[in-house]
A and B are shown apart, each in its own frame.
Chain A
Amino acid sequence: MAPQLRRGGGRFGWLLLPFLALFALLFMVPLVQLAIVSVTDPVPGLSNYTRALTTPVYWKVFTTTFNVAAGVTLVALVLGYPTAYVLATMRGRWVAVLWALVLIPFWTSLLVRTYAWMVILGRRGIVNQVVQGLGLSDGPLDLLFTRFSVTVGMVYILLPFMILCLYAGMRGIDTSLLLAAENLGATPGRAFLRIFVPLSLPGVVSGGLIVFISALGYYITPALLGGRTDMMVALLIDEQISQLFNWGMGASLAFILLFVTLGVFLVANRVVGFDRILGAGREA
């Protein structure tokens, strides 16, 4: 497989040129410029980086960012795995409905979906009306502007990515292996745990990576649904540049986020391997 690809690459490599030109012009050039700003503004040197890494509040923002991203990834996995399993292994009208439920929010504006949660989770929102209507609470619950509302809002937006990755991985699993295991005496549950789950792991890792890395850079949702202490790195970067006019610090924070993201990716590569992550759905 691999030599074949390489030969094809030699002949059709030029097909990549438009993409590479666009990538260089719109991504690499600004990135290099941003890197220069981060080590020259306001004074040459690494002072921005040392300040970013030694100031406790910035650490706190990075910690918050990681905790939120990890929480969102975990919840999305727990909700996404059974959904993807149903989508990948079952047929029928209800599966089509399930697809629609997964995809329609996927095509809806992020801002609209975030505002929807403000309406749902607000003091006078439907959740609080139901809770108070049932007499479960005297006053309205504090749902909005908390870590909870940030997590809910972000999971809602990122869940389709998780489901699609898991689905791609699960579609490639040969279900006759499960039948074979059961033939050999395994209970269905045991066959699922010992055969299906391990084979679905590349999908889990690719879904987890995509959700985790996207979540690290989230801006609008934590800004609208979060409280004072739920600030994530993207907001901090924006604040440094547009409110404090601190270009160098904003740039260095952006680079720290970029390096951390690349680091996460490389660790995932060491553990699982890029081919398996990126090729999770190839056999499908």
Chain B
Amino acid sequence: MSVSRRTFLRSIGAGAAAVTAAREFGFPARAHAQKTLVVCGWGGTTTVAQREVYFRPFEKETGIKIIEATPTNYPKLKAMVDSGNVEWDVVDTADRMIFSGVRENLFEKLDLRALDVKKIDPRYVIDVGVGHKAWSTLLSYSTRKYTSGNNPKTWAEFYDVQKFPAVRCMRAAAFDNLEIALMADGVPFDKIYPIDVDRAFKVMSRIKSHVKVWWSVDAQPVQLLTDGEIDLTTLSAARIIALRDKEGAKADCEWNQGIVHMDWWTVPRGAKNKEGALQFINYVMQAKPQAAMSNQVPFGPTNRDALALLEPTVLKNLPTSPDNLKRQLVSDRNWYAENLTKAEERMKAWLLS
């Protein structure tokens, strides 16, 4: 990276510092820094639930006040770290970003001795983060169009515009869509990675003109499904299940061939309250808060004891429940570590052509 770029980022940081200073004006600065923790999450229903089951109880137990920031935004994170003025202490980080973040040195190495991870599935403890919520991308449909059982059940059927004429909606992104295209073309789970990108785009070209809306934030398909504007879309399990069970929308989902992802708690390099960050991670990774989270929003917990605390009615909606897991593909963050940017660039060009 060039010097001028760094200067540029530093000046952004200076602006951020001025804002922070203004916000803290009137407080004894040092005591304030110790007593607050800035947690950056994804916003929407997830943040509402996290506030209730993580932030409030944590504040009560530790006296550390949580300041919420949303949504997770990588260019912003990178600008903060590069400028040395990091506003966030803990960040809810997506799977596909974690290794590119490691490559760009955006995260603190966590002191594993200070972390209480005995009960956490060891696959989800790495040196820069702890995996805390599994979520899935699912084939979702309007029940105005399909009664349950008559819906498309595989991606091959999602791609079959003759047998399933419908108003389709897909994410304007390569991740997930490449895997979906390969599954639609009959590739079994264990042959998906490394992704044959050329083949995936060739398959996607079959359906391109039949997709009415390409969404960029999941609030779009949520709204369009609710309004009956679309019949078929890809959507996260948490969002579609909340729509179905809590908001009574005429929509449902198919677990078959879903794609499971993991989100991680990370600490940005240079975070101001690292100690508080570790305290926070330890607190929310306990079985009870994790289970409470799954009760609010159907995310899969990674603390092994959390599953035992959940009712069967909740379990059946989790991406990581045994029944659901065996029908799904697990997204490979290693592949995305190397290929995400290139794949997304190609996707953008493909969408426009």
Which residues in A have some Cβ–Cβ distance to B below 8 Å?
29, 33, 36-37, 40-42, 44, 55-57, 60-61, 118-119, 122-124, 142, 144-145, 223-224, 227-229, 231, 239, 241-245, 247
Chain B neighbourhood of A118, CB < 8 A: 227, 229
Q: Are A41 and B5 in contact (CB under 8 A)?
A: yes
Chain B neighbourhood of A231, CB < 8 A: 351-352
Q: A123-B229, A145-B212 are in contact. Are A33 and B344 (CB under 8 A)?
A: no
Q: Are A228 and B352 in contact (CB under 8 A)?
A: yes
B33 within 8 A of A: no
3 cross-chain pairs, A with B, having the tightest CB-CB distances, nearest first: A40-B2, A57-B352, A33-B8
A-B contact pairs, 12 of them (CB 8 A): A36-B5, A40-B2, A41-B2, A57-B353, A123-B229, A124-B229, A144-B229, A224-B220, A227-B212, A228-B352, A231-B351, A242-B73
The 0/1 profile, CB within 8 Å of A marked 1, for residues 2-19 of chain B is 101101100100000000
Chain B neighbourhood of A224, CB < 8 A: 220
Q: Which residue from A37, A60, A124, A244 sits with its C-beta under 8 Å from B228?
A: A124
A sample of 12 more A-B contacts (CB under 8 A), given A242-B75, A245-B75, is A40-B2, A40-B4, A40-B5, A56-B353, A57-B352, A61-B352, A118-B227, A142-B212, A227-B214, A229-B352, A242-B74, A244-B341
CB proximity to A under 8 Å, residues B296-347: 341, 344-345
CB proximity to A under 8 Å, residues B51-65: none
Expressed in whole angstroms, the minimum distance between the Cβ of B27 and any Cβ of chain A is 27
Expressed in whole angstroms, the minimum distance between the Cβ of B115 and any Cβ of chain A is 29
B114 within 8 A of A: no
Expressed in whole angstroms, the minimum distance between the Cβ of B38 and any Cβ of chain A is 20
Chain B neighbourhood of A142, CB < 8 A: 212
The 0/1 profile, CB within 8 Å of A marked 1, for residues 205-232 of chain B is 0001001111010001000000111000
Chain A neighbourhood of B11, CB < 8 A: 29, 33
A228 to B172, CA, bound (A): 9
CB proximity to A under 8 Å, residues B1-48: 1-2, 4-5, 7-8, 11
Q: Which residue from B8, B78, B211, B220 sits with its C-beta under 8 Å from A228?
A: B211
Which residues in B have some Cβ–Cβ distance to A below 8 Å?
1-2, 4-5, 7-8, 11, 73-75, 78, 167, 172-173, 208, 211-214, 216, 220, 227-229, 341, 344-345, 348-349, 351-353
Expressed in whole angstroms, the minimum distance between the Cβ of A180 and any Cβ of chain B is 56
Q: Which residue from A41, A57, A229 sits with its C-beta under 8 Å from B1?
A: A41
Expressed in whole angstroms, the minimum distance between the Cβ of A52 and any Cβ of chain B is 13
Chain A neighbourhood of B7, CB < 8 A: 33, 36
Q: A41-B1, A145-B213 are in contact. Are A241 and B353 (CB under 8 A)?
A: no
Q: Are A223 and B216 in contact (CB under 8 A)?
A: yes
Q: Are A57 and B349 in contact (CB under 8 A)?
A: yes
Shortest Cβ distance from A144 into B: residue: B229
Chain B neighbourhood of A228, CB < 8 A: 172, 208, 211, 214, 351-352
Expressed in whole angstroms, the minimum distance between the Cβ of B142 and any Cβ of chain A is 11
Q: A33-B11, A123-B229, A227-B212 are in contact. Are A247 and B75 (CB under 8 A)?
A: yes
Q: Are B227 and A124 in contact (CB under 8 A)?
A: yes
Expressed in whole angstroms, the minimum distance between the Cβ of A54 and any Cβ of chain B is 13
Chain B neighbourhood of A36, CB < 8 A: 4-5, 7-8
A168 to B4, CA, bound (A): 46
Chain A neighbourhood of B5, CB < 8 A: 36-37, 40-41, 247
A56 to B350, CA, bound (A): 11
Chain B neighbourhood of A245, CB < 8 A: 74-75, 78, 341
A176 to B229, CA, bound (A): 55
A123 to B145, CA, bound (A): 13
Q: Which residue from B4, B212, B213, B348 sits with its C-beta under 8 Å from A239?
A: B348
Chain A neighbourhood of B213, CB < 8 A: 145, 227
Chain A neighbourhood of B229, CB < 8 A: 118, 122-124, 144
A118 to B229, CA, bound (A): 10
Shortest Cβ distance from B169 into A: residue: A145
Shortest Cβ distance from B170 into A: residue: A228
Chain A neighbourhood of B228, CB < 8 A: 123-124
Shortest Cβ distance from B220 into A: residue: A224
A41 to B75, CA, bound (A): 14
Chain A neighbourhood of B4, CB < 8 A: 36-37, 40
Most buried by B among A37, A40, A228: A228
Shortest Cβ distance from A238 into B: residue: B216
Expressed in whole angstroms, the minimum distance between the Cβ of B204 and any Cβ of chain A is 12
